[in-house]
Amino acid sequence: MQLEVPSAVSLGLFFVPPIFIDIAVGLLLAWLVARILNRTGLSRFFWHTPLAFLGLVILMSSLFGILVLPP
C-alpha cells in the first residue's frame, strides 16, 4: 500500500499546496522562538539577528514538514 501525498489542501474556498502550510507554520514557530530569545536576552549571542531568524524559519519549517506532514 502506497501513501498518497496530497497535491492541494482545501482551506474553505481556497486550495493551497501543502508546502504553503509548512512554511506558514514554520514562520509562526520561528517568530515565537525569536520573541522568547529576545525577552530572555539570548538573542545577543547572534551575530546577525535577521539571518538567525531566517535560519529559524528554515529549521522550524523542516521540522514541521518531517514530523507532522505526511511523507
Dump pLDDT digits (tens) for 19-54. 898 999 999 999 999 999 999 999 999 999 999 999
Q: DSSP character for 8?
A: -
Residue 2 lies in a domain: no
Secondary element (H or E) of residue 52:
helix 49-67
Tell me what the mean pLDDT of segment 60-64 comes to: 93
Number of domains the chain is built from: 1
Residue 37 lies in a domain: yes
The pLDDT confidence band at residue 2, using thresholds 50, 70 and 90, is low
The pLDDT of residue 5 is 63
In order of 9, 17, 55, the CA distances from 30 in angstroms are 23, 21, 9
Residue 17 lies in a domain: yes
The answer, yes or no, to whether residue 8 has pLDDT greater than 70, is yes
Q: Can you state the angle between helices 18-40 and 49-67, rounded to 10 degrees?
A: 130
Residue 1 lies in a domain: no
Residue-range definition of the domain harbouring residue 50: 9-67
